[in-house]
Structure 1
Amino acid sequence: MDWLILAFLGTVFFSIAGVLDKLLLENYTYDSKAYIVCQALVQLIFIIPVMLFVGVKFTYPESLFALLLGCLQIFPTFFYMKALQIEEASKVSAMEYAYPVFVLIGSIFLFGEILSPKCYAGGLLLIIGTLFLSYKRDRGISRVSVGIYPKIKGSIKGLSPSIRPFMSFWILTAAYYLSLKYLLFSIDEWSLYIWSSLGTLIVAMPLMAVRSIREEVFGFFGRGSFAIGALISEEAFQFLGLIFSIFAYAIGSVTLVSSVGALQPILTVMLIMILGALAPRLAKELNERTDRSSLMQKGAAFMMVIVGVYFVS
């Protein structure tokens, strides 16, 4: 069960990175595209040492496919950051992990994985849990969402406005992980990381040509050591989460590894509670709701997600 340990550790690191993402987006930048560019720049701190110590191996055409995969990866990231700006971190992490349903469907056609009635039930629970978690009694989410919410047209009444960007996120993310699994049949894990990361950088850097994004990027790095340190920490956890996940996908089922990630919302809530005890001021800046009604809603949705993951697995 080595894949399970790797997948779980990857989920832990992704959870920490997600909380830091929310903190930075709430307090240091309102432009999610500029924030993604900042991430890509800081990511070089980890890409370059890997290239120096592991070496860069070019395998045709797999390396080019990995490069393309990295280019495509940035698009679901845009949708994720947009959702994170307008919703609580715990809810975003829960809604994020409905994509294993699409992974399961894709794995049937690509890898011959067989669906069972239990898997159908699990997929249905994941969807129900996601919709239940996204239900909102009011729209007072965060100070960032006040400016974004009116721009989101076609939102389903009564549901979080973040459900709309997640529809695209689920499909694109499922396609990403299915492609990742396919590439790992013919390319090693470190080469996949290097080439896909370079692909992400290739797409992110041209965004600097947009004046507003360029000014926001320069402004972010001028906001002090705490913002820069938090971003470096976020990218360190993101790096660890990605590496552990890649190695998990290399030796485990794409459906099972993806399903383990659905534990992230529970880990996110635990992290926020710990942060609330150790650093109440920072926890408050996350704008996470902890009233009785919200906790009951999250708890019920999380249970559906957990049972859904169990059935899908």
Structure 2
Amino acid sequence: MKQIIIFLTFTMMSVQGFANVNYIDISKISSDPKLVSAFNFLKENTKYYDKWTSKWSHDKPKAVLVRQLHQYFRFFSVLRSKNEETYLLLGDIAHYLYNMDDNAYFNIAITNYETAVKSNPTDYRCYWFLGNHYVFTKNPNFSIEKFKNAEKLLPTEQPADFWNDYATATAVTNMPSHCIYAMDKVKSISGEEGSFQQQLGKAIYRRIVPMDKNESYKKEDIWTASQSDEIAFTSRPLGIKILVDSTWNLEPTDYKKNIGAILMIPPSIANKKDKKLPTPL
């Protein structure tokens, strides 16, 4: 008996995450009471801005929090001496502002996280925070690359929060097997289910159902598609993943008589005289 992964689309994923800021040491940035107070404010109020929401329903006014975040970003950005810890914090504040719909801070967050990577390329947090920033974007697959970079550098005592975020990222990128692995890691480290598993774990497990190779299946049951810069067609039962340009015409077939296929019709190309050649059939 083989396993088949059926794709489940999340129309809305609102998973309570952790705060990257909890893994930043303010003592390595400054002992100034004003900055320490700002840092503590960021830690104590992450529930308001650690994830994007389409409808504001919190008890604190959004505009007030946005002004506060802008102010704190200025506080830390004007420090004469900056280190890896500072850039991680600036990246987090920019990430929070992006979650609060200030889209200009999307690239500012990336710049600061990448500067932190340059400051210390062996620190797993730099890749973790950067990967977390990319999860709910048009290119979530890039987040997986960063999470894998971070995984290679994890300390002996691995943080359960890392794996909880990894579970979220792999769910978004249609990697349910990896997601289940990450959920199991959270439970083995902390002794309890993480916030992702509590909210969406059952949905992930339902995506794995038995498959008999001698039966017939509709193409929707064995193929999934996701898009970032390229379109990825994946069939776990057939053990294949195809990355193609969005201009290609692809058509998977149903699985019958132990055979499954995908038809590809790429656009025509031009010869040296710029004459379009016929598309091969």
1 or 2, which has the higher helix percentage?
Answer: 1
TM-score between the two structures when normalised by the length of structure 2: 0.26
TM-score between the two structures when normalised by the length of structure 1: 0.24
The structure with the largest alpha-carbon Rg is 2
